[in-house]
Structure 1
Amino acid sequence: MKNEDKSKKLQNENQKLRNELEELKIRLQEAEEALDAIRSGSVDALVVTGPAGQQIFTLTGEERIYRLLVETMNEGGFTANPRGQILFCNNRLSQMLKKPMEDIIGHHLEEFIISSQYEEMTSLLNIALVEPVKKRLVFLASDGSFVPALVSASPLKEPDSASICFVATDMSLLEASEEVIRQINEQKSELQKRALELQKLNRILRALSNSNQAMMKTQNETDFLKEICNIINTDCGYAMVTINYARDDEEKTVKPVAYAGYDVNFMEKLKISWADDKYGQGPSGIAIRTGKVEIFRNIPSDPRFEHWRFEKLKRHYGSAIGFPLKENEHIFGSLVLYSDELDPFSQDEVKLLQELANDLSFGIAALRSKIDREKDQDRLKQLSTELQRSNQELEQFANVISHDLREPLRAISGFVELLRMKYKDKLDETANEYINFSVSGAQTMKNMILGLIEYSRVQSQGQSFVSIDLNKIITAVVRNLDKSLTENKAEFTCDKLPEVKADEVQILRLFQNLIHNALKFKKENQNPKIHIACKRREKYWVFSVSDNGIGISEDFKIRIFTLFQREHKKSNSEGDGIGLAVCKRIVERHGGKIWLESQPDIGSTFFFTIPD
């Protein structure tokens, strides 16, 4: 029974709700027809049934003007009851929400507001019942788009009812305009920053140009460094510029050698190092130690500047950058720039400053090279003068030997020879041996004098260089040494040789001395083998004379081309120690070099070059 009673009760309530729904539909239909009539102007009055009974609202006077005003205004207008149910709206609100008015009227305001603003909407309704209020709400259009609006709400107090009048101003265009203005301002600000950056870069480029011009004009390194610092300080506008050199002392000191933008006493107070200690943590020390650019973007807060912060802040320095100065990967110093701004160094600026540091490194190296070259040229001129004087003295000495020494020697040699011839049979064996020693010594002295004369006259009495066929020269040498080659049963070979520009007489003497030397220092009980070869290099020829003789020890190689030097003095080989010295002098007169490769008991190879 209880279940049947409950079922009947539910059926009755459902029927009651259906009836009320039908009544609401009829009333809504009547309202929509009335609104259509009002919009079309086909009615002049409207009868509204309310708690006070039927009321007639005329639309022919002020109300008609009001209706036209509401329908033609640019703002969305609507009224709602205290619960937020929309009672009326104009066409502009329909356009803003992109919904027909019949889908707006009768619906709750929260259906058209984004969910995050429900509390704002409730606050607006509560306040608007009492006094006018404005709030920013975001409506949700039928296509899902957001419509920001400034909503003005004020109470409509009727004697028998309460409602709220709303005016919603679409802020989309305004906010879009504000966004465009914001973007324009951002772009303007960015362009202004870029313009300032370009101005700074242009100043650095000007400093680069001025530095290169200074490098070409300057003759003194100290003046060059000072001028570079002044150029960077003036053209680029940095607060301080310093060029520092690294010292290789025990403390690895960094010495400022040029500066601009501050007083000298300031730098004298600072202790700077390129060691990895507390004095080597500044831009100069790190740049020298690591060989990389080092940027200090905030001097007041950077802990690495602890030991110098007080002096730097007194001069309002905000940031610094250090560049290593290099010469062929050797870091010899640094270029350090200080700015009164925090973190002012852009990527493009660092690139240009790096180029400036590279140019400075090149300029210092080039200037040093130029100064060294000038010193070398001065020294070369001095040596040339000394050499010319030495050659003159040598020539005078040769003349003295030729005339003043040869005559007495000739007399001594002649009388000793007469003594041997006349008294050979009258003297004992010891006396004859002494006479033979005297004759031999006189002959050796004579050969030495002739050798010295030949040595001295390589420079003074040489002939002009002409194009000569070395094959013909070798033929002449073999002819001159034919007897010696035959007696020693020598095996002589020679590659095909080129034509060179040389002194024909001296080149013949060069080859003849080298071949004669190979015959002279041959091995006992072994036939000598001599070979002449040549190889072409880029701008000169390399010739070699090889033998299978007794060779030369390593210790004697450095003295082999010195006058009167012989390693095998006690051997049976003849010689006065002048022939190879003459060879060296001939090669050097032709602008070449001569050297030796040798192993004892294996043989020797003499090399020499003749330039084109």
Structure 2
Amino acid sequence: MEPKDTFKQESEFLNAVLDTAGAMILVLDPKGRVVRFNSACEQLMACTYPEVRGKPVWTLFPNEEDAEFLRTAFNDPGEHEFPVEFEQHWNLPDGRYRKVLWSNRTLRDGNGEIEFIVGTGWDITDRHRVEKDLSRANRALKTLSKCNRALFKGADEQDFLTHVCDIIVNQGGYRMAWVGYAEHDEKKTVRPVAQAGYEDGFLESISVTWADTALGQGPTGKAIRSGKPYVRRNIIIDPDGSPWREEVLQRGYASSISLPLKAEGQTFGALGIYAKDPDAFDREELKLLSVLADSLSFGVVAIRNRAQRRQAEAELRQRTKDLERTVRELNCFYAISNLVEENDVFLDKILQGTAELIPTALRFPEKACARITVQGQSFQTSGFRDTPWKHTEELLVNSERVGILELAYREGIPEILDEPYSIFEKNLIRAIAQRLVKIMERAQSALVLRTSEKWASAGKLAAGVAHSVLNPLTSVKMRLFSLTESLKVTPSQKEDFEVISEEIRRIDTILKNFLEFTRTPKPKPQLLSPSTVVDKTIELLRHRLESGGVEVHISREEPLPPMRIDPDQLKEVLVNLLINALEALVGGGRIEIRELESVHERLGRVAVIEVSDNGPGVPESFRERIFQPFFSTKEEGTGLGLSILSRIIEEHGGTVDLDSREGEGASFRVTLPFNESMY
């Protein structure tokens, strides 16, 4: 056989081998021009060998990056070595996508120069797809695992949903994820509640609804209505008429899926996921994401159940606290009622007992203390002191303050409390204050009734005394006078008669004072300044005071304003006080009368007259009884003078008080209100 024929046969054999090879074989010269091109290449590149022979290889690659990569490798050999292996993306004219792995070898001549470059290409599209599907499945599985773990972190519903969306984007590699709840309003709105990823105002720019209207034809609306997942595989070429397709494309979303969220068979929302690549949700990934949506639904229900359970537990705790508070309050009121029943009109014991009971009704009884002040007298728990944690309530009678109820914590309250006293405790203290006012009014009424009964009895007694004693006493006085005039008596007998006569006069004075005490007339008020009565009384007693060596000094800036008083009764009060002071100042002394206007806690605007002396004072043991009838510090006294003046001042609506320390003199303070009812 001729050598020429042999070469031809070998060439044809080699071409047959190349064309039947499963791999793509591409032979290039050192300049990158096509020298050989087998049929596998023709099928992939959709061109024939004669069409590409002698053309630079980079002109055959449709991908700009791949073409530039090869052009640079051949045109700048000094800086770039020809790649031994690289992957290339191939988009076929029919829209199919292929991925090729090229392996390149150089053939050199005897001088070591590159003579040919042989490229062998394998279609790895299917393998790449399997790897990609596996990667997606692993990614979805990891996303599902992390979302399940998020369920057990104890977050609230909003945090849980946001965290899951964040995991879907960061772990799953998706472009955006969001959760919407189906509202049951007229428009059947889908309300966004959580989102993560690149959103750029997307959710605000759309009006999602699950109603079967034009705005409800998006994936979310369809998923909620049908209760099934809805996938858009390629939004770029998908003709589906979604109302927000342009908004979706502007944000680089190429595919999406909406998965229904269900509870007890009812769809309550949807999970929407957007990807940057087309066809991002294959069958296996759809299954895993459906499981994720089910887990998300379960998590929402579990969190709501936990929240409902916590709310129920909180309500139970609150009801228990309310019940305990109610029991404390009832016990307190019951104990106060017992105090009233046991002590009746003994107001001091009631007030003291109430002060001790109040802390027991509070949340922190061991730290609480209380004080009740009525007309200057205090009733308090042991260790009471003013603190920053204090609450007060006024005791009001006919809108006039007669006292105050104070509550304080000796130590700081727990830091969790913004206000030391709850609204219930404030209401309790207010109710106790109102109860105390009623108790005081009841006690005062009872005292007035008892006093009236006593005076009525005393009046009857006085009338009986007048009939049974004064008449015989008058006869004795007359007989004594007759005997004194008719008999000649010795000086000793005369002295005895004088003693008898003096004692008869003393008995007569006692009986007359007693009658006056029981029959004190009602005041006959006149509009007059009390200062005028003071001046007239001093003038009346001036000679007697001077004879006793007593100096009287009046302290007044100006006369007291006119007020409705009975001048005769007020003069009787002042005479009594001045005579008592005179009798206390044995050997002389000083009496000071001080006049002023003031405001009384209970009586309001008042006139005050103080009569003070620098005598021996009143012993402490006498002070509480000084105004009681028939109590006297003098052997010859009747014990009715101060009782009478006390009744006179009370009839004027005022008060009379004693301030004295033994050895430091005594001061009687007469307080008269500018009472409109006296006009």
Please report the TM-score for the alignment, with normalisation by the length of structure 1: 0.48
Query: TM-score, normalized by length of structure 2?
Result: 0.44
